[in-house]
Structure 1
Amino acid sequence: MRNMCGPGEVDDDLEPETAEECAKYGKVVTCMIFELPDAVEDEAVRIFVEFEEEQAAVRAVCDLNGRFFGGRVVKAGFYDAEKFRNLELTDAPIQG
C-alpha cells in the first residue's frame, strides 16, 4: 500500500495496526514498512502485507484501494513476490 502516510510520518503503531486491519481478509504472514528516500510524497512510504493465501491479498487490494486513511487516498496493489522475498523494495508495483 502507498499513500497511507507521508515521509517522516511513520509511527510505532502503523505496522501493527495495518496488520490487524488486514487480518480481516486472511492470515497475515508479514507486515513491513519501507520508506523510499527522495520519492514523491504519495509514493515515499510503502507498506507491504504478505498473506498466507493469494485470495486474501486479492480481497484486501480490492477493498483497500481507494479507501481514505488519515485524509489520504490509499493506493493498494500487488508487488513481485520474488523481489519482496529478496527485499528489493524500490521497484514499481505490478500494474493491473
Structure 2
Amino acid sequence: MSPPLPSAVGTQFARNLAGSVAHKIMAKYGFKEGLGLGKDNKGMSHALQIEKTSKRGGKIISSEQIEQQLEEEYKKEQQEKKSVTDLLKNPTKVICLRNMVGPGEVDDDLEAETKEECSKYGSVNKCLIFEMHGVTEDEAIRIFIEFDRMESAIKSLVDMNGRFFGGRTVKASFYDVEKFKSFQLSDPITT
C-alpha cells in the first residue's frame, strides 16, 4: 500500500474528481476527502489514472507516478502563489506587460485595445508600446500602462500576469514611475 498523500494534495485531487464515476465509486467504499481507503484510512487516497498510449489503448499509471504528478502540481501552485507575492512587493502606478506580442506583431490597434482592456481595472493615464532590440523574443515588446491609482495597477498586474494572449503567456510587473516618465524604458526587469 502506498502512504497517504499530504492532505492538501489528496483533497485537491478529490476536488478535481468530484462528481466523476471514480469519485462516486470511491465514496461508496468509504472514501472521504483527504483520507485513504480502508478500515484505517491508510489505503489509496486517489483513483487510478490511465495514460493513453494509442487511440484505443492505455496503461494504468502507478500510484507512485500519480503521487509524483500531484506533488509536482501542488509545488507548481505554491510557486505561482509565491511569484505573485514577489511581484507585489514594490507596487507602483505603472505596470509593464511583456510577451503579449512578439517583434513585428505590433499593429495600429494594439495600444488602444490594451488601454481599453486595462481600463476595466481603473482609469488609465497612458499606454505606451516600446520595442527593444538585441533581447529574446519574449522580452522584445514592452507595453507600459500608467494608471491613475496604485490600486488599479495592482488589480491589473494580478489579473494580467500569466494570462494567455494570442498563444503567449503575458508577464506583468511593476515599473518605476520616474523611469517611465523620463522614458528610461529599457531597464532590466527582474520579476
1:31 aligns with 2:127: yes
Conserved? CA contact 1:79–1:94, under 8 Å = no
Residue 81 of structure 1 is matched in structure 2 by: 177
Match of 2:151 among 55, 59, 65: 55
Structure 1: runs of 5 or more not aligned = none
Residue 166 of structure 2 is matched in structure 1 by: 70
Q: Secondary structure at the match of 1:8?
A: coil
Moved over 3 A (4+): none
- 1:53-85 alpha-carbon deviations (Å, 9 max, x no partner): 000000000000000000000001101111001
Work out the CA distance in 2 between the residues paired with 1:24 and 1:92.
28
Report the alpha carbon displacement of residue 94 of structure 1 after superposing the two structures with TM.
6.0
Which segment drifts farther, 86-95 or 70-79? 86-95
Work out the CA distance in 1 between the residues paired with 2:151 and 2:190.
16
Q: Assess, with a 3 A threshold, how the Cα gap between structure 1 residues 94 and 79 changes in structure 2: closer, same or farther.
A: farther
Structure 2: runs of 5 or more not aligned = 1-96
Residue 15 of structure 1 is matched in structure 2 by: 111
Match of 1:46 among 122, 128, 142: 142
Q: Secondary structure at the match of 1:12?
A: coil
Work out the CA distance in 2 between the residues paired with 1:35 and 1:6.
9
- 1:7-57 alpha-carbon deviations (Å, 9 max, x no partner): 111000100000000000000000000000111000000000000000000
For the aligned residue pairs, the C-alpha RMSD in angstroms reads: 0.9
Name the structure with the higher helix share.
2
**Aligned positions, number:** 95
